[in-house]
Structure 1
Amino acid sequence: MRIAEQEIVEGVAAGVPFVALPPADREGPASLVVGWHLMEPPCSERAMAAAVPMTGVPAWRVYFGLPLSGDRLPEGGYDEFFRLASEDAVLNINEPVTEQAAAEFPAAIADLRARLSPVDGPVGVFGGSAGSAVALEVLARGEVEIAAGAVVSPVVQLAPVIGRNERIYHASYPWSERSRAVAAHYDFLARAAELTVPLLLVVGEEDDLAFREPSAALHSVLGDRSELVTVPGMEHAFADAPGLEPAPQTESAKAVDAAFTEWFRRQLAA
């Protein structure tokens, strides 16, 4: 299979579905840059690889499938997914997706190292929206040595994002003591001290304040450990709907791809 004239490797690493784009030079050892897609377009590992291929990064770029998506949709498919989300988005979707993806990350990385033969050194991690929460949680846990992270349309604080979804879907979320505890855990502005590696934050100029303002605040707190890039005209999603299959890059995707590429080239070289 090929995406935008690039060879793509597909497989499952320690139970996690992935697609991987090889480095231009496949003869020698190469670093790993791994990440997770959005739940809005691009909302699959294949679509994310097409939107943000990072061709100029001299590393294997690996795109994991999120739990409760793609091949791991619950029984009943999207109907069941949306039923779970409408019942309790935080406890049925946000928490289990982020927790499972972060928990399975170390074993998946170990499997990829053995199969793709990258160098045994720090990796880069990235994510978009729901996938960004996974990337930030992985960075905070520090279970794998990581050189740098990059997130786009990031969920820096979960609670404002739930508020954004209430406005979009004209529904009121029934906060409970348990869900408030989950939102407090996934508040990476409050946990900024746990984010110790260089971090790139990419936000859309037209995205909701629930994403833009916490990203700017996190950048301010992290200071020199971070960079903030605002993409003109970009909303939250940066691929055309429905965003499940590989598609030509939108102008917003090109901007995200360029920012990620420049960031990881610089950080991996350092």
Structure 2
Amino acid sequence: MDALPLDDVPAIKVYLGLPLFGKRAEAGGVEALKRRQASDFASQIFEPVVVGAAKELPAALKALRAMGCMARDEKIGLFGFSGGGAAVLLALAEHDVPIGSAVILNASTGLSASIGAYENATAKPYPWNDAAHELARRTDAVGRVGEIAAGHPPVALLIVQGTADATLTPRLATDLHAALKSKYAARDAQRLQLILADGMSHNVTAASSIGDLRMWTGDWFNRW
């Protein structure tokens, strides 16, 4: 909310917390997350947080409609950072809610990408199992570009990626953009954009990066 107030976007903004984080953290906070991570990253962290966030969207929209915040046929815009970006991509692929536009920032492109980041951070190999492989398939954005780009017109998607992101590297974003580009018809090419932000790190802490991000995000939502 502090980083992206989006005051220039004439819409109702709703900031949804990820499951198990922030005010939704379990008793024990960070230590509880570490225990989950040590138990099984895929089933204890990625699935409840990322898949869980995407699954919560229909209920969130139902509540917004009940409060008179949106009409039944209105589409929403989504923003997601890191694991939240993976949740946005999954929501785009599964089409459980009507989405007109989306912005993802330094996003995981699925379980495989997140496990790669986990392995790099911990220097420990992840013990894959059948359930994790299936979850990886379901959440692989590159593998589901046909579903993400489905619809007429397809979702207007802005991919913002920091070139200095050592956690989720720029290759993830460029590969996703290249795969999606092949699915967007020429008439819809402007609805897909990749911004490689020079020098931006994963957590986007620099004031200049925040300013650029606010401008890019606000302009995208206003345009689409």
State TM-score, norm by structure 1: 0.73
Partner in structure 1 of residue 4 of structure 2: 52
CA contact (8 A) 1:52 1:254 kept: no
> Does structure 1 residue 80 correspond to structure 2 residue 46?
no
Name 1:227's counterpart in structure 2: 193
Q: In 2, are the aligned partners of 1:200 and 1:228 still within 8 Å (CA)?
A: yes
Q: 1:212 aligns with which of 160, 164, 170?
A: 170
The one-letter code matched in structure 2 to 1:137 is L
In the alignment of these two chains, the number of paired residues is 210
State the one-letter code of the partner of 2:16: F
* Alignment check: 8 A CA contact 1:158 1:187 kept: yes
Instruction: For residues 44-71 of structure 1, give each alpha carbon's deviation from its aligned partner in whole angstroms, at most 9, with x where no partner exists.
Output: xxxxx11122221111121101111122
| Post-superposition offset of 1:209 | 7.7
Contact 1:154 1:211 in 2 (8 A): no
Q: Partners of 1:157 and 1:109 in 2: how far apart? A: 24
Quick one: structure 1 residues 100 and 212, their matched pair in 2 at CA, closer, same or farther if it must change by over 3 Å?
A: same
- Give runs of aligned pairs for residues 1-270 of structure 1, distance below 5 A: 49-115=1-67, 117-120=69-72, 121-196=74-149, 197-208=155-166, 210-223=168-181, 224=189, 225-239=191-205, 250-267=207-224
Judge conservation of contact 2:107–2:168 (CA < 8 Å) in 1. Answer: no
* Counterpart amino acid of residue 128 in structure 2: W
Say what the alpha-carbon RMSD is for the aligned residues.
1.8
Q: Which amino acid aligns with 1:101?
A: A
Instruction: Give the Cα–Cα distance (whole angstroms) in 2 for the partners of residues 190 and 119 of structure 1.
Output: 32
Deviation string 1:56-103 (CA, Å, 9 cap, x unpaired) is 111112110111112221232221111111221111100111222111
- Contact between 1:128 and 1:153, CA under 8 Å: does it hold in 2? yes
Q: Which has the higher strand share?
A: 1
Identity across aligned pairs (percent)?
Answer: 33
TM-score by length of 2: 0.87
